[in-house]
A = this chain, B = another copy of it.
C-alpha cells in the first residue's frame, strides 16, 4: 500500500515537473505546424505533459493529441456558457458587403450585420420600406446596387479612443460609406460619393469623429465620366472626401461634406493624426507611375507598371485647414459636391507629399501621434516618419514639386528609421508596452518590433510568429487608438489551404488569434471565416458598447431611432380601404398575428404595418408571405411597413419565421387576393 502511494506520488511529481517546465513555454512546437507534425508531437507530448489535468480531461487531451501549448491555448479561449467575451472585433466582410461581429477570445461570430447587401434573416432589404430607403441611399446613377466590397471599418472615437457609439464602413467597388448604430447593430445610412467609383482607402475617422475620411483608389475622371486612358494624366484624378458626421442625429451630413482633388496616383490606406499630430491625415498611394496597364496590347500589366518606381508618395493633409477653406467657400462644386481644387490645396498649405517605399499599404500613426509607420509591400522594411520633422520640413519649405505642383518633402528630412522586418510588410498595430506589430504577407508571419522614438537604434525586431497563410491586415485590442490594450492580436489571413475540413474549392479565410501578452507571441486559435473575407477589423472592449436588449418603446422605427408614425397599438388593429389602396394595421405577439385574415382584391395596392408589441429580451418575430420576395425581422418593440401591388389572385399564407414559442407554427394567417 505504502509502496503504491509512494510510486504514485513519484509519478505525479515527475509528471507535474515535466508539465510545469513544458507548459506554455516557447521551446514547444506551436500548434501551427502541419497536421502530421501536430499529431506526432501532440501524441508524444500528450502522454507525458498534461499530467494532472482532471482525470477525464487528461484522457481526452491524450486521445485528441493536444500539446501543452494547445492546452494553454484552450484555457485562454474556451468560453463557458453564459460567460461573455471581453472584446468585440468588427471585421469587414469584404465582397460579402457586410460587417461581421466576432467575440474575443472565443472567436465566435455573434452577428453578421447587413450593410450594403440585403440579408434575409435580419429582414434587411427584403421588403421593408425602411431598409429599402437606406439601401437606396447608395444607388448609383439611379441603379439599385445591392452588394458591396467592404474593407475598413472605423469605430467612432472621442479624443482618439473608441467610444462604442457608431461604426462606419466603406464599399470599395461603388465608392460608398455606411453608418451603423451600435445601440441596435443596424445600418442606418449609406452615402454615395458623386465623384468617385472606388474608395479602398476608407473609412477612417478624425479623433473626435468630426469627419469620416475616404480616398479614391482607381482614378477616374470626376463622376467617373468617360475619358480615354490616353488622357489619364490630364483628366483622371484622385480624391479625398471628408464626410461630416453629426453625432446628434447619428448620420453623415452630405450638405456639410467636401472633397479635395488629388493627383491620379492610386490613394490607398490612411490614418488620422492624433494628439501630437491631431488635425492631419496621412494616406499612402501606389501608382505614382500613373501606369494604365494594357497587357492585351503588349503594354506592361498593371502589376508591373504600377511597381516600377522605388518610391511612391505619402499624402500629408491638413484637414482642419481644409475644413476652413471649405467653410470660406474656396471650393468648386462638381456633381453637387464642393471640391477643393489641387492648386488651392497647394496654395493653402493643405496638401504635401513625402516619398515612401515601395507600393506601400499600411499607414499607421503611433498611439502618441508622433510617428507614422509605413509598410511597403515590395520593401522588406517598415519606414517610420516623424510628424515633428514633417512640420519642420514644411516650415523650411524643404521640398521639390511633383509634376502637379505638389510639394514633395525630402525623404531624409522626415524619415526617422527604416527597420528590416521581413518580406511583404503590410499593416501595423500597436500594444500598450511600446511595441509595434506588422503583418508580413510573403513570409506569412507577424513581426513584433520596438518603437524607438527619435532614436533609429531604438527600433529592433523582438519576435516573430508564423501564421497560416498569407496574412493581410492585423487587428489588436484597441490597437489603433491613443491607448492600446495589447493582450490579443488577430491575424486576418487570406488563405487557409489545409487548415480546415475541406468544404469545396471556395475556402474560408483563417482568422488566427495570437496571444501577445508575453514576450513571445503564440497562435492560440484558428477561426475559419466562411461568410466573407475580412480586410481590416477593429477590436473594442465589449463593455464600451451600450447595446439595447429591446427597442426603447413599443412602436419604434429603427431607421429613424424614434417612435414610428405607423406604430399599431393593441386594440387598434384594422384594415382600411381607400379606393384601390388597402392599409393593414397589424400587431404581432406570441403566438398570433392580428388580423389573421387579410382580404384584398386583385390589383389593390397594399400598405402593411406590423408592430411587434413585445418588450421581452429576444422576443423577435419574423414575417414572410409566399410569392412576394418578402422577409421581415421585427425585434421587440419594432414597427415596420412594407407595400406591394396584389397582382396575382390567390390564397397566400403568411407566418412568423422566428421560432418564438411552442405554438410558433400556429402563428400564421391567410392573405386572400380575390380575382
- Stretch from A101-109, A154-162, A318-326 forming part of the interface with B: A101-109
What CA separation (Å) do A119 and B9 show in the bound complex? Answer: 60
Q: Which residue of A57, A73, A633, A674 has the most chain B CB atoms within 10 A of its CB atom?
A: A57
13 contacts between A and B (CB under 8 A): A19-B55, A31-B80, A94-B659, A103-B501, A109-B508, A140-B626, A140-B627, A183-B504, A200-B665, A218-B668, A225-B651, A226-B650, A472-B659
A20 at the interface (CB under 8 A from B): yes
Find the B residue at minimum CB distance from A79. Answer: B526
Residues 51-73 of A, flagged 1 when their CB comes within 8 A of B and 0 if not, give 11111111011001111101111
- Stretch from A248-256, A349-357, A364-372, A591-599 forming part of the interface with B: A591-599
B95 touches A72 (CB 8 A): no
Do A22 and B302 contact each other (CB < 8 Å), given the known contacts A184-B505, A547-B504?
no
Shortest distance from the beta carbon of A255 to any chain B beta carbon, whole Å: 24
B38 touches A653 (CB 8 A): no
A24 at the interface (CB under 8 A from B): yes
Shortest distance from the beta carbon of A19 to any chain B beta carbon, whole Å: 5
Interface residues of A in 98-127 (CB under 8 A from B): 101, 103, 108-112, 117, 119-123, 126
Residues 512-552 of A, flagged 1 when their CB comes within 8 A of B and 0 if not, give 10000000000100111111110100000010010111110
What CA separation (Å) do A67 and B233 show in the bound complex? Answer: 66
Shortest distance from the beta carbon of A234 to any chain B beta carbon, whole Å: 13
Which of B84, B512, B596 interacts with A296 by CB under 8 Å? Answer: B596
A530 touches B120 (CB 8 A): no
A337 at the interface (CB under 8 A from B): no
Interface residues of A in 269-327 (CB under 8 A from B): 286, 292-297, 299, 301-303, 306-307
Do A591 and B303 contact each other (CB < 8 Å), given the known contacts A108-B528, A119-B96, A597-B296?
yes
Interface residues of A in 391-442 (CB under 8 A from B): 424, 441-442
Q: Which residue of A19, A65, A81 has the most chain B CB atoms within 10 A of its CB atom?
A: A81
A506 touches B596 (CB 8 A): no
Find the B residue at minimum CB distance from A378. Answer: B662
Closest 3 pairs between A and B when the two form their complex, measured CB to CB: A52-B52, A23-B54, A24-B56
Interface residues of A in 1-15 (CB under 8 A from B): 5, 8-9, 12-13, 15
Find chain B residues with CB under 8 A from A498 CB: 82, 617
A579 at the interface (CB under 8 A from B): no
Do A82 and B121 contact each other (CB < 8 Å), given the known contacts A149-B624, A504-B186?
no
Find the B residue at minimum CB distance from A105. Answer: B64
Q: Which residue of A42, A119, A673 has the most chain B CB atoms within 10 A of its CB atom?
A: A119
Interface residues of A in 171-219 (CB under 8 A from B): 173-175, 182-186, 197-198, 200, 217-218
B108 touches A547 (CB 8 A): no
